[in-house]
Structure 1
Amino acid sequence: MKTKDRYLFRRADSANFEYRRNVPTDVRDAFGKSRIRQSLKTSEKQVARELRDTLNRQFESQWLRIRRRKMSRPLGQGTLTTEESSIVEAGRLERADGLRDTVVLDTIQEQLDEAAFAYLRANGLPDTPEEIEDARSYVEARTPEGRQLAKELQLWRGELTYPMLGEQLFAVRNLSASTESEYRRGLALAEAALPPVNRVSRQDVQVWVNSLAASGEFAAATLRKMLTGVRSSIRQAGFHSEPFSNISVSSPKTEIVRQPWTEEELELLLNTCDKDWLAAAILVATFTGPRAGALVDMSYDSASDVIRFPKQKLERSERVIPCPDGLRETVRFWVSSPRTKSSLSNEFTKLKRRSGFVGTSYDQVKVFHSLRHLALSKLIQLGVDSVAARIISGHRQPDEILQRYYTHHTAEDLRRSINLIRFPRLDRFLR
């Protein structure tokens, strides 16, 4: 229904307009009824609008007086202490919040009712209570406007939590397992600490983020990801996410700096390794530097003798590099029996422990991803052009740098560069 015709209805068996409006729930007892239905005794739309406006002013004035009586302090209380005054003021603010919620809920209910009546009129159906209820159910379930209003109704009733909003996001977004895990963690923490979505302010969010940062449990990058998860979930549901925007994020927790493995350490790992597929994964990662997610989904094009790594989160497209000459058979073996990212990570952790690499430095600083750092470090040590080194290892480059590089270099240049990577201690482990 158009806003200018709000509260105006016309019965199927009459040409005259009616004024229909729900009475706000917080004043129904004092007002004496829950719904107003009054004939305007005119079939002229403009006249009906003027009468409607007069009735609106009349009823809203009555409701305002009722609310003021509820909000006012009873006489005869005498002089209040400072503490008593603060308690009274807090109560007034709480009642004001409740009043705001009630007004919003009533407005949403009225909008749903109007949409239901519009559906009845459009389909020539009578406005009996049963038909109205069926029409409202249809509007809430089958129309975009109705679905959004139903969600807003849930929100203002306190039935829509942060994790529930997250589930709506996860249903339509294809997120990586790690990203979804961080999002869920942020949503759970938000639910435990923040006011509901319809009440939260930017100050609330900033205080919350500051408290998480002060705990020392979260790095700044983790906090940003959790904040993004909450903001994206709210936005996906169609609600305003401004309180979660432009939040300052910092953390005293020290960011972990990965360190590359040494050739001697890798030799010990491979000597200890009793799984051929894991040894192959370590060797491919050492010589080509992929992320674990790209490694488990890589493919080998024997016709072109190139390795294809699928696009990762920080890359613009898939990465295609020449297959190192000494690694060819190992690559073929790996792609013939790949493993999942989780099994790769778990087995590599077990291998580290069996090889004697235990303690904080090895648990956090030297991990499977450190093999990627080793490949890039080796290329830089060998004097390979920095852009070529970053292309081989898949580090993101501005488009203009890539264009300039490929203008002056060929695939054979990349092949020569990648074949420079040698680890004599590891040669005996290659197939």
Structure 2
Amino acid sequence: MTAQGRRPGRWYRRLPRWAQTVRFRLAVTNSLAVFGLGAVVIVVLYAGVASTVDQAALRELKQLRAELGMPADGPGSDTLHEAVSHYTKEKLAEYSLFGLGALFVLSAGTGWMLAGRALRPVDRITTTAREISGSDLSGRIRLQGPDDELRRLADTVDDMLDRLDGAFSGQRRILDDVSHELRTPLAVIQTNLEAVLSRDDVTEAERRQAAAVVGRATERMTHLVEDLLSSARRTAPAFGEQDLDAARVAAEAADEFAAVAAEQGVRVRRRLCRGRVVADAVALSRAVGNLLSNAVRFAPRGSTVLVATGQWGEWAYIAVRDEGPGIPEEHQSRIFDRFWRGRARGGADGEGERTGQTGLGLAIVRQIVEAHGGSVAVHSRPGEGSTFVLWLPDLDTRRAGGGESGGPPPADDPVALAAPR
């Protein structure tokens, strides 16, 4: 049975390549249909004419003999009648065969051209599909014309390419985010381990402190890998909600970056007040860590980075302030865009590319905070440093409002104004 199933395929592969195309099959089918119908018409006409030619020829022969004064049924009349009838049928057959041959040639040529015209959109779809590569899915067919089956097929392929492009773009964003996120905890681990291992007079308390910091950084990387696997399965990583003290989250982040900041000649100072929020501890710690990483990177040597928390009305906040070069007003609307790179310490705009920045840190911060119903704000002036504030609905407001706050967060800088607690 299997061998029999392969025989047609083997026989078909012996044909020339052009004879294996859909265009050839359509042309043959159309030409045979037209030729068959034409042949039926010609055969019917031939039969009808042949059946009447004898009587017509006989009447004309009798009329001619009468005009010549000859008897209508005289000698030789039958022979002459048969000769005229045979000649007429013979010519009719010749013309019919010639017409059938011409009809076959015309139907085959016309069928080939019509099939090619009908399949032209398919060729366009094939060409576009071949031109599309794994790194560039921007090509589209965009077939114009009537809303027929081929137009719907082309639109379906375009929709599929849109979905594939979106999926691949999402994967690339995930890889960019993961590479950015892994860099920070790895730097924390390396710095704290080097700080402990490079000294002989390290106390037991310092070892425990370094071990705790390394443990939290390792836990952050573990959660990050879990988020990556969840995203790869096309399921959005859900944030686990729990009651948190914003001051504790900020303190742990400050502990992690204290050694990193010290290496850069920067001191991390804290001004922590209680602020209760409902959030995912790992995600919120990641957001604060990104702010601290940026602050340490941009802060000049010998300066101070301030981490502050507190509560203002219905909102709790976590703020990170540096004494860096500041952000021009025209750039402040872009700093949360993906892949936008600012200015490195003492450098010019765009130098962030040469210092290894990916331009994803602040975009991730905004994504995390907005997923918790909050917002992120920046207060900065060139030469005066920058303050980034994470506004989150406080615990009571979040519960009373069903997960949302009653109004927008304050527009002021809580660090500069020493907001009420």
- Say which one has the larger Rg: 2
Report the structure, 1 or 2, having the larger strand content: 2
Q: What TM-score do the two structures reach when normalised by structure 2?
A: 0.26
TM-score norm. by structure 1 comes to 0.26
